[in-house]
Structure 1
Amino acid sequence: MISMDAPSPDTSAGIFWRTELASRAAVIVDADDYFTHLRSAMLKARERIVLVGWDFDARIKFVEHARDGGPDTIGKFISWLVKRTPGLDVHILRWDTGALKTVFHARTLLTIALWIRDPQVHLKLDGHHPIAGSHHQKVVVIDDRLAFCGGIDMTRSRWDTRAHQDNDHHRVDPGGRPYGPWHDATTALEGPVAQALGEMCRLRWQAAGGRPLPPVAHGESCWPDDLVPDFTDAMVGISRTLPPMGDHDAVHEIEALYVELIRRARRWIYAESQYFASRRIAEAIAQRLHEHDGPEIVIINPTTADGWLEPVAMDTARARLVAALRDCDLHNRFRIYHPFTAGGVPIYVHAKITIIDDVILRVGSSNFNNRSLKLDSECDVTFDSAKAAGDDMSRTIAGIRNALLAEHLDSDCAAVEAQLAETGSLIATIEALKGPGRSLQDYALPDLAPVKQWLADTKLLDPEGPDEMFEPLARRTGLLDRLRHGHQAHGKVIHRQNGSTESLP
């Protein structure tokens, strides 16, 4: 499968920036478990905690009725933690533009005022990105010994359990307003891979204007007390997206990784993503759909994008791409599904997971959209069972996928595994286990108004890179042009190493 024998150089042609050992690693699904395990790990920190994220809201509750003696809310907990632990420094780095949403809230201002006076807490806003770009990585590193890397932000409206119950009274924002069910995922990583992520975060801190931070020399284990590892002594690849800036070239490792994962799949591609709007990913999928014996492709998406601008750009682009891909789906192997609660409420999918066969697992901050591949800063981690001894890792990866399907279908892993063994098909398994109440539902193509079609074709709200933000609209390649042109003859496209594509006769 994908070679992870040696670190990849910092180049857009590489798939991994670094490949390092995880002495222990676990996939954590949904923020209820994440916040619990993160708090447990932070309590063990002795020298440094680095919190890097797209958003950070000091008002959110870490837990309900904490039993460790600390406050419930994250902001007060950090202030309490550094007072309790002399010598501990906490560095918080968040996207500068996103900070405008919460920074002027009274309770947030009070917390920031307390932190400014606290020499152990350091807050910085990350503006090291192009115009209209964002800092989108979601990483926490503790004493350079433990890292959390994935898609969960420490902000409002993220907490939920894997049950995704209707009307859960704990699912309220800091102002007391209820919000809908939310599905998300991250990873916990111990060992040299955490040290590498610590280096990445220190470089990001410095790029955002912070003073250089040395590595933590004598950190001890901070593994959460009740977290059972999924993997031990596993090699982990770290992939990034970084737009070109004055101090570095563009890094497109995640885009290269996605294309390679799709190309390498033999039986199944299972993915969860907040968006489906990337032309490059659609091209790679289209090529596999034209193959007689290509893999099944199942993508779990929210019914609609979150926010006020995102639905215009992301939902419209998704509709155009799905329509084109259905034309390519000659063998009925492509599906997009949405999860719903027992009461029929859409569950918002914010998780960013890709599982290839029973072999490769990727979890991170990047989505299937242009911004994640070119414009925003992202960080993903990948496990490859082909590089592990024995079949344990492969069984674990299959189990994680089956557990995700069981969560969405209100079933259990044994039922999913049995159905999959019987049918040999992800799609047939889902169709057999779908039912009323909490389940998955098929994506239905909407009607697209001319303005929305134009927005999708010009990629005005989802550019493929910083240069395209300023390119005349008349010169932009339409969102589906290359997909269509690449399949005019026999529906096959060859991908060149330089990123270009060429139609095969």
Structure 2
Amino acid sequence: MNEILTPGRNAWRVEEADNVAVIIDAEDYFHAARDAMMRARHSIMMVGWDFDARIRFDSPGHSDDGPDRLGDFVLWLVDRTPGLEIRLLQWNSGMMKNWFRGTNAWYLARWKMHKRITARMDGMHPPAGSHHQKLLIVDDSLAFCGGIDMTVKRWDTRAHADDEPGRVSPSGRKLEPWHDCAALVDGPAAKALAEVGRRRWQRATGETLEAATTPALDWPDRVRPLARHARVAVSRSRPEMTDQTPVREIEALYLDLIAQAKRVIYAESQYFASRRIAVALSRRLEEPDGPEVVILNPHTADGWLEPLAMDTARARLIQSLRQHDPHGRLAVYHPVTAAEKPIYVHAKLMIVDDRFLRIGSSNFNNRSMRLDSECDVALDAAQDASGDMRRALMALRDDLLAEHLGCDAARVTAEIARHGSVIAAIEALRGPGRSLVPYEVPDLNAVEEWLADNEILDPDGPEEMFEAPGKRGLFRGRLRSPAGD
């Protein structure tokens, strides 16, 4: 087997996991996380971009004895479990903004008063950078890694119903549909992710934490593994700073997986704004026998600044990529509900052929490669001679497409087999109501084009923050500007 996942290049470590699962959407993620946290005896580490203690940390009508709200649940856990310590590490700018909303400050004060709860801010990042990893580590033996923050807006079911009573803010305001995913691993792979968390904690706080010594926790009964006894790669992004060398394992991983693709690259990402990824895709699209490329994005980025930064760059890159797609193998979609309202795609996932899976916190944008701190996991199904892992990856891809197309996964599989093409199958299954809608490049005004082309709001690493716009740009290298300039 040709080893693609390589420590020192596109991975930090490759470790064995007894079980690997992909959890789709936050209803199931919150269930699994809650279950794992209730088993903890030694430590829980929550590392994230954002936390909100006010959220309902489960689905309505959960069956355990714990409180509904995340803030109360954390307090309840330490009170019922002698010796348990809970640590939360959050991006400092997000924490300063979020913890003064509603009752969050009250929860934070209560947590800080408890001797076995520690909430800290992570400010060790370059200007305009963020701590973006999303990890939950329980007793160093169950580790979640993905795109789901324990904060507002994230909870939704896989149905993404237009009228979902449980999808509300802490104040009761109705929220929009939200699609997300995360991985869960155990065994040595979980211990490796725990080490990522401890290193991040030490970097942010100066405190060195000891590894857990308690017996390993059992795998949650309600979580069905995607694979068993699998080698899992842990990959990171770490920005360059005066006292820190850069780590660009995730960037290398993306580029290596794109280069290895034979038939289909399927990706879900909150953003598409990375020049390096676009260049790598352009090379494969120009090949007469290269892979299909299917990308799912949200209709528009969330927030007030993100659309200006990310949507404009996406428009320019996709407009250019279409000039490099003579064989018609690029398709970009966004999912909609039964009433044809946008479903926000926050997932960060890539499935390449029936061989590679990558899932984590990183997006298809520059800052995920070189400015923010990120953590992803990946596996190579070629390690399994039986072919079961390959079949599981294809089943996962078809299950995700079925969710987005509002149909049965078996029908997706059958249509792909009938057409010999994922894009053709999607086009055959698309229709009114719950479905996938092709991305249309919007008209951009001159200011938006300038911001996008010069990567003003999505810099290519900390060093570019201080470069003149003339030295930046989406269209450095082989990728052509849509205007041809």
Partner of 2:25: 30
The whole-number CA distance in structure 1 between the counterparts of 2:213 and 2:454 is 50
| 1:335 maps to 2:348 | no
The whole-number CA distance in structure 1 between the counterparts of 2:479 and 2:278 is 11
Give CA-to-partner distance per residue, 1:430-472, whole Å, 9 cap, x none.
0011111000010011111000000011111000000111112
Give CA-to-partner distance per residue, 1:126-163, whole Å, 9 cap, x none.
00100100000001110010100010000001000000
RMSD: 1.6
The whole-number CA distance in structure 2 between the counterparts of 1:158 and 1:101 is 18
Summarize the alignment of residues 26-425 of structure 1 with structure 2, pairs less than 5 Å apart.
26-63=21-58, 64-425=60-421
Give CA-to-partner distance per residue, 1:343-375, whole Å, 9 cap, x none.
011000000010000111111100000010110
Identity in percent:
54
Compute the TM-score of the two structures, normalised by the length of structure 1.
0.93
Give CA-to-partner distance per residue, 1:361-415, whole Å, 9 cap, x none.
1111000000101100000100111122310000000000000000000011110
Q: What secondary structure is seen at the aligned counterpart in 1 of 2:44?
A: strand
The whole-number CA distance in structure 2 between the counterparts of 1:187 and 1:155 is 18
In the alignment, structure 2 segments of 5+ residues that lack a partner are: none
Q: Give the paired residue count.
A: 483
Moved more, 23-32 or 380-389: 380-389
Q: What secondary structure is seen at the aligned counterpart in 1 of 2:150?
A: coil
Deviation, 1:480, is: 1.7
Moved more, 222-231 or 304-313: 222-231
Partner of 1:484: 479
Deviation, 1:65, is: 3.3
**Contact 2:320-2:480 within 8 A present in 1 as well:** no
Q: What secondary structure is seen at the aligned counterpart in 1 of 2:175?
A: coil
Q: What secondary structure is seen at the aligned counterpart in 1 of 2:376?
A: strand
1:15 to 4, 10, 23: 10
The whole-number CA distance in structure 2 between the counterparts of 1:2 and 1:105 is 51
In the alignment, structure 1 segments of 5+ residues that lack a partner are: 488-505
Counterpart amino acid of residue 117 in structure 2: V
Counterpart amino acid of residue 16 in structure 2: L
Compute the TM-score of the two structures, normalised by the length of structure 2.
0.97
Q: What secondary structure is seen at the aligned counterpart in 1 of 2:182?
A: strand
Partner of 1:499: none
Deviation, 1:484, is: 3.3
Q: What secondary structure is seen at the aligned counterpart in 1 of 2:235?
A: strand
| 1:432 maps to 2:428 | yes
- Find runs of 4+ consecutive structure 1 residues off by over 4 angstroms: none
The whole-number CA distance in structure 2 between the counterparts of 1:485 and 1:302 is 25
The whole-number CA distance in structure 2 between the counterparts of 1:288 and 1:67 is 50
The whole-number CA distance in structure 1 between the counterparts of 2:14 and 2:4 is 6
**Contact 2:5-2:233 within 8 A present in 1 as well:** no
Deviation, 1:5, is: 7.4
